[in-house]
Structure 1
Amino acid sequence: MTASVRGAHIQGTPEWVPLPDGRRLYAMVLPGARPDGPTVVFEAGAGAGRSSWALVQSAVAPRARAVAYDRSGLGRSAPDPADRTLTHMADDLGALLDHFGPGPFVLVGHSAGGPLVRLAAARGPGRIAGLVLVDPTDEAADVLFGSRFRRMERTALRLGHALAALGLLRPLFRGQLAQLPADASRDMAREGFTTGVLRTQRRQARTYLDELAAWRDAPPDTGDIPVTVISGGLPGDGMDSTLRAAANASHAHRAARVTKGRHVVAERSGHYVPLTEPEVVVREILALLPD
């Protein structure tokens, strides 16, 4: 897939989004066909930035304004001196929605970005037309809160930081880079595998699971917002068959717990559905767009 206009970036034009504390978030925006139409906002996984959404964002843009951004400390957004709690990251997403408002918005979250869009939607449900959660982290998966998973996470983050420092992390993701359009692939290669990214991931991980565990008793209330949950159908990408089964069961549970829930399995994908089956994600987003 290539940019539609010679010299244009597949993800559109850059825009800096100011936050109340003076930080700025880097976003790329495709304008869509109607200036008064809906806006789709993409939230990436724990260590990912805007580039991971290039295939989906560009396919959605003919129907809606499409915005992908970098959380603080990822991509081109500077690090945040404050703690990177789930609550604080959702504050940032809420400010970004204010900037691109008034909506309606469809929020799309992958992996650890799933809880972020759920929380942001619960805080302002009137402007949210729908949620698409792509292989999301979900508090219904008991395995996330056991000591084994936490040890695995800490080990992976330490190893990732060491590999990034040696310049050896990017080669491990050459397959993902090859699946992206050339300009988005170059961006990810430059920005996605640095020690700064791993520092941000470690800061996010300090409190993320503990905050998510609290949702087991009091989850964000998204009311009657339509929610589609997309599961990867295959193990791999760091998920063995046990973890995959637990994740997909939690996804089915999440879809069943909302009034307008839908559970979809991307049969040919592991965790990185936006890269391996972007058409599945695009189809579910378009189905939630208001007329």
Structure 2
Amino acid sequence: MTAPQGTGAGHTFGASRFATLDDGRRLHYRIRGTGAPTVVFESGMGLSGSIWGLVQPAVAERATTVVYDRAGTGGSDDDGAPRTLARIVADLAQLLRAFPGPLVLVGASWGGPIIRTLAATGEFAVRGLVLVDQSDENAPEFFTPAMEKRTVQAASLTLLLARTGLYRPFSRVGRSQPPDVYADLRRNDFGVRGARTMGAEMREFLAAMRTLRERRPRLDGIETAVVSGTKAGLLERAQRPAINRAHRTTAAHLAQGRFVAAPGSGHYVMFSEPEIVVREITRMLPPRGATR
């Protein structure tokens, strides 16, 4: 990977930069704050980094923070290869080699399996993981014929909605964020390009879940907070208890894992209770004034 390049600050997330991967693709990221560890944010399926507007600024007061866009999202280049879990993790690894350790990795939804897989490679000094209502292989609903069918249908429906302009209103889930971050989310993630990326990642999702169930990432020695939204909304009333059970199981099976309930949240904890995510991240940072 070539040296990062970019310009300017003024954005909530900080200076905009690009890192060039070995195959020439560029990943866009923003960096804010100083000091160790470096806190890196990974977003959910089909989403750029523009979901962290209520979390990253608070963490940047204590440490260096990096919010990046996966390939096909935000300011990053598209990727013509299948968006498998291995491919995504390899991209992230190339990006992270540009930053000093140790690292604290924060992943929402599909971002949870991504950062767990990255941490399990052992290449990086990972101080801690914060999994924000992650996609969890302990949830049995991922391994049913009905889920296979719904996944195919969802990818097609998302693209249809985007082409008719009906996908963009879904961005309102992040409207409580700073205006510049919300504008990025609305523009970048809820149009046709965002829908295509969502579909590309969704097509590889269930295969990744099966792999994780068969070979769970080893996180020995890594503190892990499993944040779980426990408020069941109308659309996920049937699934939410099973998701919470899966998160509890994951936390219990980790030597340094802990289950953290977010009682006022469903899936989007970073929007409804960002203070919980901030708290779990800062627990993994050195005390204020400590030698780093």
After TM superposition, the score normalised by the length of structure 1 is 0.92
Return the offset for 1:210: 1.2
The yes-or-no answer on 1:58 pairing with 2:57 is yes
Of 25, 46, 56, the residue aligned with 2:27 is: 25
> Displacement of 1:126 after TM fit?
4.9
Match of 1:162 in 2: 160
User: Does the CA contact (< 8 Å) of 2:33 and 2:62 recur in 1?
Assistant: no
Between the aligned partners of 2:175 and 2:208, the Cα distance in structure 1 is 35
Counterpart of 1:280 in structure 2 is 276
Aligned to 1:78: 77
State the number of aligned residues: 279
Amino acid at match of 1:154: V
Aligned to 1:173: 171
- Residue in structure 2 matching 1:129, options 124, 127, 130: 127
Per mean C-alpha deviation after superposition, the further-off stretch among 122-131 and 249-258 is: 122-131
Q: Which residue identity does 2:90 align to in structure 1? A: D
2:188 to 186, 191, 198: 191
* SS state at 1:262 partner: strand
Aligned residue for 1:51, secondary structure, equals: coil
Return the match for 2:221 from 216, 220, 224: 224
- 1:177: Cα distance to partner? 3.7
Q: Are 1:201 and 2:203 counterparts? A: no
SS of match in other structure, 1:54: coil
8 Å CA contact 2:46–2:201 kept in 1: the answer is no
- What's the secondary structure of 1:9's corresponding residue? coil
Deviations 1:31-52 (A, max 9, x none): 23x3xx2110000000211110
Instruction: Measure the CA separation in 2 of the matches of 1:169 and 1:204.
Output: 17
Counterpart-to-counterpart distance in 2, 1:190 and 1:103: 33
Letter in 1 for 2:176: Q
**Which amino acid in 2 is paired with 1:195?**
V
Please point out which of 242, 246, 249 is paired with 2:245: 249
Note the residue ranges of structure 2 that are not aligned, 5 or more in a row.
1-8, 288-292
The normalised TM-score by structure 2 is 0.91
Distance 1:107 1:200 in 2: 22
CA deviation map 1:154-198 (0-9, x unaligned) = 222222111111112112332x24211111111111111121111
Match of 1:4 in 2: none
Contact 1:237/1:271 (<8 A) preserved: no
Structure 1 runs, 4 residues or longer, greater than 3 Å off:
none
Shift of 1:27: 0.4
Aligned to 2:40: 41
Secondary structure of residue in 2 paired with 1:222: coil
Specify the SS of the correspondent of 1:167.
coil
Distance 1:200 1:178 in 2: 21
What displacement does 1:151 show? 2.1
Matched residue SS, 2:157:
helix
Pair 1:157–1:237, CA change in 2 (3 A): farther
SS at structure 1 position matched to 2:53: helix
**Mind listing any 5+ residue stretches in structure 1 that lack a counterpart?**
1-6
Matched, 1:140 2:126: no
Within 1, Cα distance between the matches of 2:170 and 2:28?
26
Cα displacement (A) at 1:59: 0.9
Q: Identity across aligned pairs (percent)?
A: 42
Q: Could you list the per-position Cα deviations for residues 92-134 of structure 1 after superposition, in whole angstroms to 9, with x for gaps in the alignment? A: 111111012x310000000011000000001126510000000
Amino acid of the structure 2 residue aligned with 1:190: R
Which residue of the partner structure matches residue 3 of structure 1? Answer: none
